Amino acid sequence: MLVDAIRHRLGWWMDNPLLRKELRQRMRSGRTVLALSLYLFIIGAVAFVFMYVNVQGQTLLLQPTRTADLFTFLSYLQLAMISFVTPGIASGVISGERERQTLTVLLTTPLSPASIIFTKFVTSISFLLLLIVMTLPLYSIVFLFGGVVPSQVLAVFGLQIVTLGAIASVSIFWSTWLRRTGWSTVFSYATVGAFFLGLAVAGYLSDNIANHSPDQGVWGMVSGICYSLNPIYMQASLEASLGFASPVFHQSIVSSVFSVVQSHDLSSTESWLSFLYLYLGGSALLLVSCIWRLRPGTFTVLRKRLARWILR
């Protein structure tokens, strides 16, 4: 019975009309083709220049450690792309429907608010996932020269997908709760900025206070929490634990990130659990609040159904 229910659900998702419509519309847009081409071109050019500078035109000079550097560099570029592009795509998914005056009609169909929100979530991240998948052949250059194995690439991609999902959830949250896409976009970028830059600054300040305060333990813990909730540091933590810390990044921002990871032991289980709790749990909570907000009485109906089911 459970298997049938799951099969039915999966079948519905495969045949989800909103998902098909959204994907069809997105892929028909000329901007999509342009964005995909531009992104591939930029990543390709960056990869080429990075390699060229490192080997001075002599491919045989490329060493496995250098390809690990290239991978680290590309992965940070991709994280930056995720943090910039995701709010732009996801912050208008519901408010845009409201502004185009298509939401009212959508809400009178039997599509549940949950299915609408999850479909919007999936379609928001699908474009970014496509970008990530498209760059895999570029990443495979690093496999050619050794130094990185596919499981390491997948681990970093996994972390980026969790981050992507969280940013999409935050953007959908603002898009559902605020009426205007303009405001939703501003708040989405502000939230992402707070997590990426705000937490880094807060961590840095806490570190400085800890160095001059008798209460070092508390401030050290605060800075550790700030860093462990920041995807930039957690990606460095993951890459450091995979053995990617490299001499090429000495004197750079990335090397300072890696040194913070080591000094705060961000590879610890506690750091990873707090990161995953916040990003996965927080995303789920935000999406549930969107479902509640999208159509009034959704949970009233569910509560009544549950009560009826219990009484039966």
Partner 1 sequence: MITTENLCKRYGKTDAVRDLNLDVRAGTVFGFVGENGAGKTTTLSILATLMLPTSGRAFVGAAEVTTDPAAVRRMIGYMPDVFGVYDDLSVREYLAFYGTAYGVTAALIEQRTKELLNMVSLEEKADDYVNALSRGMQQRLGLARCLMHDPPVLILDEPASGLDPRSRIEMREIIKGLRQRGKTVLISSHILPELADMCDEIGVIKRGALVACASVEVVTARANGHRQICVEVLAGGLAMADTLARHHFVSEVLTCDETRVDLLFAGTERDQAELILDLAAAGYQLKTFREVGGNLEDLFLHLTSEEQAAEQTASALAGSAAGQMA
d(CA 2, CA 9): 10
Q: Fill in the per-residue mask, 239 to 278: x = in contact with partner 1 (CB under 8 A), - = not in contact.
A: ----------------------------------------
SS3 label, residue 105: helix
Residue 180 or 295: which CB sits closer to partner 1? 295
Q: Fill in the per-residue mask, 151 to 180: x = in contact with partner 1 (CB under 8 A), - = not in contact.
A: ------------------------------
98 contact partners, CB below 8 Å, separation of at least 6 = 179
Residue 77 or 111: which CB sits closer to partner 1? 111
Q: Fill in the per-residue mask, 26 to 55: x = in contact with partner 1 (CB under 8 A), - = not in contact.
A: --xx--------------------------
Residue 66 or 120: which CB sits closer to partner 1? 120
For position 77 contacting partner 1 by CB under 8 A, the verdict is no
For position 221 contacting partner 1 by CB under 8 A, the verdict is no
Q: Which of 232, 237, 73, 88 has its CA nearest to residue 155?
A: 237
Among 186, 282, 295, 299, binds partner 1 (CB under 8 A): 295
d(CA 220, CA 242): 25
d(CA 206, CA 208): 5
d(CA 283, CA 163): 10
Among 37, 102, 211, 263, binds partner 1 (CB under 8 A): 102
Q: CA 113, 188, 184, 20 torsion: positive or negative?
A: negative
| Shortest Å, Cβ 94 to partner 1 | 14
b (16+ CB within 10 A) / e for 16-52: bebbeebbeebeeeeeeeebeeebeeebeeebeebbe
| Shortest Å, Cβ 310 to partner 1 | 16
| Shortest Å, Cβ 308 to partner 1 | 9
For position 301 contacting partner 1 by CB under 8 A, the verdict is yes
CA distances from 237 to 44, 178, 213, 232, 273 (A): 26, 35, 27, 9, 13
Size of the site for partner 1 (CB under 8 A): 25
Tokens of 170: 């935050």
CB-neighbour burial class of residue 306 (10 A; exposed 0-12, middle 13-18, buried 19+): exposed
| Shortest Å, Cβ 126 to partner 1 | 16
For position 21 contacting partner 1 by CB under 8 A, the verdict is yes
Among 5, 105, 310, 311, binds partner 1 (CB under 8 A): 105
| Shortest Å, Cβ 290 to partner 1 | 17
Among 84, 140, 296, 306, binds partner 1 (CB under 8 A): 296
For position 11 contacting partner 1 by CB under 8 A, the verdict is no
Angle, alpha carbons 178-183-186 (nearest 5°): 125
Q: Enumerate binding residues for partner 1 (CB under 8 A).
A: 15, 17-18, 20-21, 24-25, 28-29, 100-102, 104-105, 107-111, 295-297, 300-301, 304
